[in-house]
Structures are given as structure tokens and as C-alpha cells.
Amino acid sequence: MKIAVIGTGYVGLVTGTCFAETGNNVTCIDIDEDKVNKLKKGEITIYEPGLEKLFLRNLKENRLFFTNNLEEGVKDAVIIFLALPTPPGEDGSADLKYILGVAKDLGKLIKAGDYKVIVDKSTVPVGTADKVKEAIVMSAVKFSPVSNIEESFDVVSNPEFLREGVAVEDFMKPDRVVIGTKSEKARKVMGDLYAPFVRQGNPVIYMDERSAELTKYAANSLLATKISFMNEVARLCERMGADVDMVRRGIGSDDRIGKRFLFPGIGYGGSCFPKDVQALVRSSSEVNYNFEILKAVMKVNEEQKLFLLPAIKKYFKNDLKNKRVALWGLSFKPNTDDIREAPALYLIEALSKEGVKISAFDPEAMNNVKNAIGDKIEYSDNQYDALKDADALIIATEWNEFRTPDFGKMETLMKNKVIFDGRNLFDLATIRDLGFYYKSVGRETVN
């Protein structure tokens, strides 16, 4: 099948590559010329485990193409995916300017009688499929008046549930595929496209466009709720002398609750949860619904990003000026270079204001942070270099390589044996034996 994917970021590049992997002919389109030039030359533009191998193979086998030219990219495509940004607007709602702008451009290109399925893969508010359809029709009618343009395309909602860090695996073997359309014709095209991905029997769930759009927001909001809930339980544990790790295990073994997404920490970040929860609250208010739980989820998360700060201040007796802190982890979660809404950035901001000197290390995200904040902090070549003369170590992201470090080496490099761990990486008894001061989340402080 000939497919076009508009927007070649984290979702678009994975989507395009994985569809090429099952034999489709895929053209990815992006307005960023630099990005497209790199991709054409075989230079991958994001870090995502397993993606580069697939990307290079499909590029070599002439199934994966890149262009800046929308007309060239969508020509002959039966399915056109929109994997465009939907950032929060000023009022917190999802800004649809990228989606509707492209829809308008597509309207100029769609020809009567040449059926295409336009797919919203971006996370978009309920009603967006209707808006995309309207934008296409309005511009089609304006630019090349034809009578039956509505019959030449369908707009489908096909939200993406991949997780950065395991995106390829999630895309190739999805838990489920949600397809929102009332069109039988579009349903058949989408079903055929996804058939190779659900051979093991995972469901393709067909529904109407609006339900599909809401499904994505509801899924992300429930996951964010789980995280904020556990972060509040962690706060309680500290006040009540309980251990959140024990409580987590105790409740997670109940099937109704499940083991995943129960790890406390310094809040959720990334390009999805923060903006999607906010957007659902906003669109709820537009239909006069006050989504109270989600408002609390957002508030708890805002506070949680700086959860370690009072403990750091207390340890240094409110004198943080010129203290040297090593920071392990900058990405919003491990196995990605994505730093959007990363808790580490909030910590950097708050600590810099107090006059703290920060020396950071992240296996993949340092370039993105350099581009975002420049030399506000120092960047180290490896996790141990960051520790030289450090008054304390802060851990903000649970990269695997931070889990079993060489504590002996750490001790020789650091000025003080002090760790503030926002991801609960270490066993309390081990760290006590090693003689570190250790503050984590929802557990006893070792000192």
C-alpha cells in the first residue's frame, strides 16, 4: 500500500518506518528541511531503541522516503497519516493549527474520484475529525470546485499509544489498535493495513471517530492519575513511617490494580501526559464539565517535580549558593532523548536560582538540553565525571546504567556521600551499609 506520513517526529518516524517494515511504500513529509535532509542521508534524528536498524533497512530497500514537498509526498498515497504536533495553546487546549493547516493544504491536493483515507494519528480533542473533514472540503471547494469531494476521502481517528523508549515494540505489537470511523470503506483499508501487526490476536477496536479521540485522552489521563495517586501515597508513607515500595508491591499484586505505573518518583513529564491531561480538563470545561480528579492530578504533578527540593535545602541548611551538584538523567524517562516537560529541567531551573552549580550526565538527552538551555549547566562525558567534587548527587531519570553504579568510585569522586534519588533506584539496606546519606521518594531517609 502507498502511504504518506505528515510530520516526522517521534510518532511520525516510528509510524512510517514500521509501516515500511511490513512492505508498504511510505513517504514521510516534514516542513523541517534539515530533518528531512538528514533522514534522506540515513541519519536518524531521534533516539529510539531498535528504530535505526529498521529505518536503515527500509531506506536501503526503497520502501521509505522523505520529502519536504507535501504534494509530492501525498501523490498516489491511499492513506495519509497526520502525525503533527498538538501542543497546548494558551488556555491549555490542544492547539490544532498544525493539523488544520495541513488539512487545508490537503484540500487543495485531493482530487475527485481518487479515494484517500486521512488519518488523525496525533492526539486531538473530540470533534477534530469533523474539523479536519470540514477544512479539507472548504479548501477543496475553494481551489477546485467539484461536486462530490466528500466521497473522495474519509477522515479516520487512529490514536497512537506507543511509549517512547519502547516505541518500535509497541508499534509492531500493539496491545490494541483503535480505529475510529463510521465509513465501511475506510474501515476495510485500515483493517488491511494493521492486519500484520495484530496476527497474535490483539484486538483492532472499531468505533466512531469521537469515541476514538476520547479513548486516547482517557488512557493517558488514567495513567497520569495512577502516577499522581502513587506520588501522594509516597508522601503519606514518609509522614506515617511506611515504605512505598512495600505498599506498591502489596497493592500491585491485585489484578484489578496491576503492577505497572505504580512507581513513585518526581512526577510525570514528556510530550504527552502533561499536555493531554490539561487538554482533557480544558475540553471538559467547554462542555460544562468540571473534571475534578484531573485537576488534582495536575496539581500533584506540578508539586512533585520539585519534591526533592525541600529535602536538598534542609540538608544544606538553606545555603545552596555555590554548592556543586551532580545530576544523573535529563530525559523525561529512560531510553529516550526527549526532554519535553522533563522533571530534570524543573530541578535545574529551581537549583540554578539558588546558585547551585550543576554538572549533568544523560546517555542520550544532553544535546537536546544543550540546545534548550545552553551552558546554564555543565555537561559531563560520563556519569562519574559529573560527580567530581560534588556536594551531592541528584538522580532524575531511571536509566539502567545508574542502577548498579560503582559506589566505591563514587565515594572517591564526591566531596560528600549524599544522594537525592527521585527514582528510588537503590536498596535502602545496601545504601545504609555503604554509608551514604540517601533521600528517596516515600521511603525512610538513610543517614
Ligand X SMILES: NC(=O)c1ccc[n+]([C@@H]2O[C@H](COP(=O)([O-])OP(=O)(O)OC[C@H]3O[C@@H](n4cnc5c(N)ncnc54)[C@H](O)[C@@H]3O)[C@@H](O)[C@H]2O)c1
**Which parts of 175-312 are beta strand (E)?**
177-180, 204-207
Give the interface size with ligand X as a residue count (CB under 6 A): 26
Residue 7 touching ligand X (CB under 6 A): yes
Find the binding residues for ligand X in span 155-194 (CB under 6 A).
160, 162, 164
Q: Which amino acid is at 112?
A: A
Residue 11 touching ligand X (CB under 6 A): yes
With CB under 6 A as the contact rule, which of the stretches 1-9, 320-328, 359-367, 402-410 interacts with ligand X? 1-9
User: Cβ 217 to ligand X, closest distance in Å?
Assistant: 10
Separation CA 2–CA 78 (nearest Å): 6
User: Cβ 12 to ligand X, closest distance in Å?
Assistant: 6
Residue 95 touching ligand X (CB under 6 A): no
Q: Could you give the string, one character per residue 99-118, with x where binding to ligand X holds by CB under 6 A and - elsewhere?
A: --xx----------------
Is 276 in contact with 216 (CB distance < 8 Å)?
yes
Residue 411 touching ligand X (CB under 6 A): no
**Nearest Cα residue to 41 out of 65, 18, 12:** 65
Catalytic residue among 18, 28, 237, 272: 272
Separation CA 405–CA 421 (nearest Å): 13
Rounded to the nearest 5°, which phi and psi values hold at 402? -90, -10
Separation CA 105–CA 69 (nearest Å): 11
Among all residues, whose Cβ is closest to ligand X? 9
Is 378 in contact with 398 (CB distance < 8 Å)?
no
Radius of gyration of the chain (CA): 24
Is 47 in contact with 10 (CB distance < 8 Å)?
no
**Nearest Cα residue to 94 out of 281, 305, 297:** 281
User: Cβ 149 to ligand X, closest distance in Å?
Assistant: 21
Residue 243 touching ligand X (CB under 6 A): no
Is 144 in contact with 200 (CB distance < 8 Å)?
no
Residue 31 touching ligand X (CB under 6 A): yes
18 classed as catalytic: no
* Pick 271 or 301: Cβ nearer ligand X: 271
**Nearest Cα residue to 418 out of 326, 297, 300, 304:** 326
Residue 271 touching ligand X (CB under 6 A): yes
Binding test (CB under 6 A) with ligand X, winner from 24, 58, 67, 86: 86
* Site residues for ligand X per CB under 6 A: 6-12, 29-32, 35, 83-86, 98, 101-102, 122-123, 160, 162, 164, 271-272
Active site residues: 272
